[in-house]
């Protein structure tokens, strides 16, 4: 069995490798070659922690395994550790023997950023120049860094519920040499692409804030009750997702579906666009929306990729198990 510790991931994994792994596995999901197992998520009654498993099997990529982990809210204050903790375990699909154990913390941010990037590549207008960010927390910086590589963006605009956090994304824009401007939510109508990545339980982005032709990636809503955008926006938009079952239950589409504004059949898999079985964007003034709920197969795909890189570089730790 191979071990790739968390401390090695930053030097091994590239944004391009994460993008390629996620794009490929979304395609495999849409063609029926890969599927996610039901998610387990439990409040364990200790340290206020939420713990669970996200697993799946990709028959095309021969990737089998799970990500185990969750959220320990007291970690930072009590122990100086980050609150989100996860580890990916990969298994040999031929034998069931464990093949790798991989640090999953940084990989989670990279695979989540890769998902919105894949959606931008396939759904945003080719001539998009302004990107809008809603959210300025841990994930937002990763999201923006990856998204800036997808189009020739000339300007970043940002809004955050806690405005004092905006420098987190301004720094990313500056590093990429793209000007940054803080705006009010109605200023988002200037954006050609909007990424929303917050932990909100009530919508910030309203349908009236989104101009024609915009691509919106909703990346923060991954739990029942969370919501980032007005349900009416999903009526105006053509809606895509990583996994339909998650989108309508724990993703952004849960609200529009529960209110009867859209049906489950109105939500399409992004993988189908990648495969060419769904046309994706069909006009310049269409609003497209990607509901990125986060699936276990994304974690397995980037973990398998990082194991390959670790083996190539002689960094993977081999243990008899
Ligand atoms: P964080 O705590 O670092 O940042 C939270 C962000 O949400 C900040 O921008 C904060 O200002 C904003 N926010 C908080 N309360 C708000 C409110 N009431 N209204 C509007 N904005 C509010 O968190 P993070 O690590 O950046 O994660 C952000 C979200 O992304 C979380 O909900 C997390 O569960 C989710 N997430 C999703 C995936 C996925 O695959 N889709 C993966 C990882 C994280």
Kindly report, residue by residue over 292-316, the tens digit of the pLDDT: 999 999 999 999 999 999 999 999 9
| pLDDT (0 to 100) of residue 224 | 92
pLDDT confidence tier of residue 227, bands split at 50, 70 and 90? very high
Q: What is the mean pLDDT of residues 98-119?
A: 98
pLDDT at 266: 98
16-38 confidence digits (pLDDT tens): 999 999 999 999 999 999 999 99
Task: Give residue 301's pLDDT.
Answer: 98
Mean pLDDT of 105-132: 98
Average pLDDT value for residue range 139-157: 98
Ligand 1 atom closest to the CA of 139, numbered from 1 = 26
Q: How much of the chain is helix, strand and coil, in % rounded to 5?
A: 35, 25, 35
- pLDDT of res. 248: 97
pLDDT tens, 161-188? Answer: 999 999 999 999 999 999 999 999 999 9
Which pLDDT band holds residue 126 (cuts at 50, 70, 90)? very high
The backbone torsions φ and ψ at residue 69, rounded to the nearest 5 degrees and listed phi first, read 160, -165
Amino acid 255: pLDDT: 98
How many whole angstroms from 47 Cα to the centroid of ligand 1? 21
Question: Please, which residues bridge with residue 66 across strands?
Answer: 55, 89
Domains defined for the chain, CATH in brackets: 2-108+297-318 (3.30.1780.10), 120-294 (3.40.50.720)
What is the pLDDT at residue 292? 98
Q: Which of helix, strand or coil describes residue 11?
A: helix
What are the beta bridge partners of residue 268?
240
User: How remote is the CA of residue 228 from the centroid of ligand 1, in Å?
Assistant: 10
Ligand 1 atom at minimal distance to the Cα of residue 112: 40
For ligand 1, atom 6: residue with the closest CA:
198
Count of alpha carbons within 13 angstroms of residue 238, beta-carbon side? 22
Q: pLDDT digit string (tens) for 251-291?
A: 999 999 999 999 999 999 999 999 999 999 999 999 999 99
Under 8 Å CB-to-CB from 260, ≥6 apart: which residues? Answer: none
Mean pLDDT of 218-235: 96
The reply to whether the predicted model has a pTM over 0.85 is yes
Question: Which pLDDT score, from 0 to 100, does residue 243 have?
Answer: 97
Range in 73-77, 148-152, 181-185, 186-190 with the lowest mean pLDDT: 73-77
Q: Which two tokens stand for residue 26?
A: 């979304």
pLDDT above 90 covers what percent of the chain? 99
- Indicate which atom in ligand 1 lies nearest the CA of residue 251: 41
Q: Which of 118, 119, 160 is nearest to 140 (CA)?
A: 160
Number of C-alpha atoms within 13 angstroms, CB side, residue 171?
11
The pLDDT score that the predictor gives to residue 169 is 98
Q: Cα–Cα distances in Å, from 146 out to 19, 161, 173, 272? A: 9, 22, 11, 22
pLDDT score of 285? 97
Those residues whose C-beta lies under 8 Å from the C-beta of residue 125, and which sit 6 or more positions away, are 192, 213, 215, 281, 284
The Cα 196–Cα 215 span in angstroms is 11
| Residue tagged active-site, from 67, 155, 263, 313 | 67
Whole-number Cα distances in Å, 66 to 61, 131, 187, 253, 306 = 15, 33, 41, 25, 15
Mean predicted lDDT score pLDDT of the chain: 97
Q: Does residue 67 have an active-site annotation?
A: yes
In which band, very low, low, confident or very high, does the pLDDT at 120 lie, cut at 50, 70 and 90?
Answer: very high
In the three-class reduction of DSSP (H, G, I as helix; E, B as strand; rest coil), residue 164 is classed as: helix
Which residue from 52, 107, 137 has its CB within 8 A of the most atoms of ligand 1, so it is best to mutate?
137
């Amino acid at each position: 069995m191979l071990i790739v510790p968390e401390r090695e991931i930053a030097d091994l994994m590239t944004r391009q490798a994460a993008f390629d792994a996620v794009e490929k596995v979304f395609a495999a999901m849409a063609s029926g070659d890969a599927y996610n197992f039901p998610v387990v998520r439990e409040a364990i009654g200790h340290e206020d922690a939420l713990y669970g498993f996200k697993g799946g099997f990709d028959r095309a990529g021969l990737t089998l395994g799970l990500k185990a982990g969750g959220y320990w809210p007291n970690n930072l204050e009590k122990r100086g550790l980050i609150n989100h903790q996860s580890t990916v375990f990969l298994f040999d699909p031929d034998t069931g023997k464990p093949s790798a154990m991989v640090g999953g913390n940084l990989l989670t941010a990279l695979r989540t950023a890769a998902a919105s990037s894949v959606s931008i590549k396939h759904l945003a207008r080719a001539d998009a120049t302004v990107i809008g960010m809603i959210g300025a927390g841990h994930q937002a910086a990763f999201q923006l860094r990856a998204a800036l590589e997808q189009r020739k963006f000339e300007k970043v605009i940002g809004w955050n519920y806690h405005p004092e956090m905006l420098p987190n994304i301004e720094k990313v824009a500056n590093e990429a040499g793209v000007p940054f401007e803080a705006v009010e939510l109605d200023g988002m109508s200037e954006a050609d692409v909007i990424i929303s990545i917050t932990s909100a339980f009530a919508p910030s982005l309203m349908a009236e804030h989104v101009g024609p032709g915009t691509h919106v990636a909703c990346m923060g809503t991954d739990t029942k009750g969370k919501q980032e955008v007005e349900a009416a926006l999903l009526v105006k938009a053509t809606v895509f997702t990583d996994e339909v079952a998650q989108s309508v239950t724990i993703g952004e589409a849960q609200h529009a579906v529960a209110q009867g504004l859209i049906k489950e059949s109105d939500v399409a898999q992004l993988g189908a666009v990648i495969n060419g079985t769904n046309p994706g964007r069909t006009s310049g003034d269409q609003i497209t929306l990607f509901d990125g709920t986060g699936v276990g197969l994304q974690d397995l795909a980037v973990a398998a990729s990082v194991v390959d890189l670790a083996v190539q570089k002689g960094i993977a730790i081999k243990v008899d198990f």
